[in-house]
Amino acid sequence: MRSSESRLRFVSGELSDLGALPDVVDVAAPRSISQRARDVVAHRSLLANLVRRDLRVRYKGSVLGFFWSLLNPAMYLVVFSFVFTVFLPARVPLFGIFMLSGLLIWNFFNGSLAAASNSIVENRALVQKVWFPREILPLAALGSALINMFLQAVVLVIGSLAFRNAPDVRALPLVIYAVIATAVLAAGLGILLSALTVEYRDVSHLLDVGMTAWFWMSAVVFPFGAVAVKLGENQWLAFLNPMLAPILAFQRALYDPAPSLPGETPIIPEESLAWYYGRVSITLAIGVVILFIALRVFARREDSFGDQL
Amino acid sequence: MTSNAIEVVDVSKRFVLSHAGPSSLKERFVSRSASPRGEDTDLWALKGVSLEIERGETFGLLGHNGSGKSTLLKCIARTLRPTTGTIRTVGRVAALLELGAGFHPELTGRENVSLNASILGLDEAEAESRLPDVFGFAELAGFEDTPVKHYSSGMFARLGFSVAMHLEPDTLLVDEVLSVGDESFQRKCLGEVRRFQREGRTIVVVTHSADMVRHVCDRAAVLDHGELQMVGPPPAAIRTLRELLNKRGLEIPREMGSAANLEQAQAIVFTDVQLRYNDPQRPWLNPGDPLEIVVSYDASQPMDDVAVAMEIHDSGGNRLLGVNSDLLDSAPNSVDGTGTVVIRLESVPLLGGSYSIALGLHNHDVSVSYDHREEAASFRVENSTPLDGRVQIPVSIRW
Ligand SMILES: Nc1ncnc2c1ncn2[C@@H]1O[C@H](COP(=O)(O)OP(=O)(O)OP(=O)(O)O)[C@@H](O)[C@H]1O
Ligand SMILES: [Mg+2]
């Protein structure tokens, strides 16, 4: 770790140490997980810079800038509201809002993994020329996906205003908790994939296919209530998919459906907020385990990044 | 606390050369089942290298192409990990392995500089405060907000150099990049290197230029096939390098090395070199004396695509003269079997010292080197003039 206090100052050829002793780095020594975490924290301004670079590059030279990234969710909102209210009247009122709530967190997850898996290979010019904690690259990919989620949330806000659908204010902390859990899970998987992609370049193609399948297993375009009824006692099976809980949490807080009438299938589980917190906690726990494994795999593979890129 | 900026202890680096390249799972899978093992060959780019570089020292790394100089530098810069051994560095290390590495073409100069600064671990405020210096030195004031894709390659390189110098690392690693830009910028770069030295920072520089090593470095190391041959003062290092190249007989130019070239390469070789002085009783020169170098060769076949080249070096390895027969429009009609060629220096305007002569035989477009001898011969000049220095420049002083 380098901090500005510990840097040496030199006065006319004489060493004069104004701060603490300079850090001695054993270049070849393996670093512990906690050392790695500290190195990442020490380079947080690089992390911020890489996220900024990513956003700038994406929107540079386009007149509408980040409004383009709103277009995609806005399209979803309009098309799905239209299709499911006019042509296929669904039992889900305000289908556009319902779908966008889940899509928001899914897009964050999906976008993080897609960008993170290529992050090291794409930044090979940097990786080959300078040292910095390599985990920064997949984390920066996650950072820009997170910011994109906030931008896309604007569409949901506008849609909610237009359709007069108020979110459940009491459940808003649940949204934050779901984002944290998803971020930890995405960080773990992203770091893992980024390291594997260096050796196996087709990981990103596999990921494409895998994420499409995962998407349809997550209750984004259909209400989970319908599945829950079919599964009955075996509902827990669906929660093996760690993304289900954050998606439901988003739908619970932002879409906030009215309680179902007797005899009607609920759109999302009609459980207490505590139940939702519990489910998201399981996702968080899975995320932490995966993150830990990912860091170990990453640490082992990172030594050969320079040789293989 | 030692006074070393860098300690390299018994470092070896192995590269695994896989012939297919591990780019896809399918290839991996197929090649695994087809031939279980043995496709990969090991290449030891560094073998048990140990070095200590002191703080404030400017250290040169010399060696032939592929000797492992860049690999060692990358290990110190932590972009490669040594297979065995340890490397300790003190303070902030910046590497100039390639100018402008990490610049993103779509971003402006300012954005790129701030990105580069944060890679070195500087925070936003520190980076911001250095911006004017960085652009001032690079002579790019006014281009801060232009995307670097619109920079010329010289501007790009200048900004890259300037960033590395102005982010004030404790140790700077330089791999053959000090020769970019036009001449005036190069002079500025050298001035900047001097400033670094005055400020007591450490520099490690990889170079093929003997002049550079002689004039900039305090000490130098010579690598040969990944093994450290010697560490010492620049003149001794340059001599070791020349001897190494000489021992091998052939200095293989970068683009050479194929079997076809090697076969051709033996087509004509040197057999003898004699120096002819004005007075055979006096086997040395006085300033301004002529000198003839009589070179004997043996050609195994009739050939006309051949030129003879000669260089004169001083004891510090500086090249004083470089010439070849093509430059003087003196190509042979044809050579076959044994023969001699005479290189006549009408006047050698050197003052005291001893000098070495390097000889080469190559084809006209210099793509094939038939023979090459560093230190093919040497001569001594006795200073019979009242002048001091190296070169006899006619001079008078009038009041
Ligand atoms: N990533 C890599 N994978 C496999 N082999 C490599 C890799 N990098 C370098 N090598 C090999 O290691 C050896 C040393 O290379 P290196 O670049 O250190 O030489 P060098 O002394 O810098 O040469 P030059 O003077 O041409 O720059 C060479 O044989 C090279 O082919
Ligand atoms: Mg090199």
d(CA A211, CA A109): 10
Report the chain A residue with the minimal C-alpha distance to residue B94.
A130
Residue B199 identity:
E
Cβ B101–A126 below 8 Å, yes or no? yes
Residue whose CA lies nearest to ligand 1 atom number 9: B71
B249 pLDDT above the threshold of 80: no
Mean pLDDT of all residues in chain A?
83
The string of pLDDT tens digits covering residues B113-142 is 888 888 877 777 888 888 888 898 888 888
Model ipTM over 0.85:
no
Select the more confidently predicted residue: A67 or B178. Answer: A67
Cα(B97) to ligand 2 centroid in Å equals 9
B281 pLDDT above the threshold of 60: yes
Residues of chain A numbered 2-31 and touching chain B (CB < 8 Å): 2, 4, 7-8, 10, 12-15, 21-29
Indicate if ligand 1 lies below 6 Å from the C-beta of B45: yes
Region of residue A124 (left: phi > 0; alpha: psi -120 to 50; beta: else)? alpha
Lowest-pLDDT choice from B31-45, B152-166, B325-339, B370-384:
B31-45
Chain B residues close to A125, C-beta within 8 Å: 101-102
The whole-number pLDDT of residue B33 equals 46
Mutate to test the interface with A, among B81, B112, B198 (most CBs of A within 10 A): B81
Q: Which two tokens stand for residue A39?
A: 């190195």
Mutate to test the pocket of ligand 1, among B71, B80, B98, B256 (most ligand atoms within 8 A of CB): B71
Indicate if ligand 1 lies below 6 Å from the C-beta of B44: no
| Residue B374 confidence class, pLDDT cut points 50, 70, 90 | confident
Cβ A53–B77 below 8 Å, yes or no? no
Instruction: For residue B252, report the phi and psi dihedrals to the nearest 5 degrees.
Output: -85, 115
Cα(B255) to ligand 1 centroid in Å equals 14
Chain A residues close to B114, C-beta within 8 Å: 49
Residue whose CA lies nearest to ligand 1 atom number 28: B66
Compute the nearest-CA separation of A5 from chain B (Å).
Answer: 11
Residues of chain A numbered 172-201 and touching chain B (CB < 8 Å): 199-201
CATH architecture of the domain B4-22+41-236 equals 3-Layer(aba) Sandwich (3.40)
Residue whose CA lies nearest to ligand 1 atom number 26: B65
Indicate if ligand 1 lies below 6 Å from the C-beta of B67: yes
Which homologous superfamily does the CATH classification assign to the domain defined by B260-381?
A: abc- transporter (atp binding component) like domain (2.70.50.60)
Chain B residues close to A24, C-beta within 8 Å: 88-90
Half-sphere exposure of B174 (CA within 13 A, CB side): 29
Residues 6+ apart with CB under 8 A from B107: A53, A56, A57, A60, B115, B147, B148
Indicate if ligand 1 lies below 6 Å from the C-beta of B68: yes
Mean pLDDT of all residues in chain B?
81
Cα(B225) to ligand 1 centroid in Å equals 10
Indicate if ligand 1 lies below 6 Å from the C-beta of B97: no
What's the length of chain A? 309
Mutate to test the pocket of ligand 1, among B14, B15, B17, B62 (most ligand atoms within 8 A of CB): B15
Q: How many CB atoms lie within 10 A of CB B276?
A: 12
Cβ A131–B79 below 8 Å, yes or no? yes
Short-list B142, B150, B152, CA closest to B185: B152
d(CA B33, CA A4): 53
d(CA A145, CA A186): 10
Q: What is the 3-state secondary structure (H, E, C) of B206-234?
A: ECCCHHHHHHHCCEEEEEECCEEEEEECH
Q: At what angle do helices B124-137 and B153-166 cross, to 10 degrees?
A: 130
The string of pLDDT tens digits covering residues A148-202 is 899 888 888 888 888 888 888 888 999 999 999 999 999 999 999 999 999 888 8
Residue A71 identity:
L
A13 pLDDT above the threshold of 60: no
The string of pLDDT tens digits covering residues B1-37 is 468 889 999 999 998 876 554 455 555 555 444 444 4
The whole-number pLDDT of residue B179 equals 59
Indicate the DSSP class of residue B350.
Answer: B
Indicate the DSSP class of residue B371.
Answer: E
Q: Highest mean pLDDT: which of B24-38, B163-177, B199-213, B281-295?
A: B281-295
Compute the nearest-CA separation of B182 from chain A (Å).
Answer: 24
- Per domain, the residue ranges of chain A are 54-308
Half-sphere exposure of A219 (CA within 13 A, CB side): 26
A81 pLDDT above the threshold of 80: no
The whole-number pLDDT of residue A130 equals 81
Coil, strand or helix at A109? helix
- Per domain, the residue ranges of chain B are 4-22+41-236, 260-381
Indicate if ligand 1 lies below 6 Å from the C-beta of B71: yes
The whole-number pLDDT of residue A16 equals 36
d(CA B250, CA A291): 55
Residues of chain B numbered 150-169 and touching chain A (CB < 8 Å): none
d(CA A144, CA A115): 9
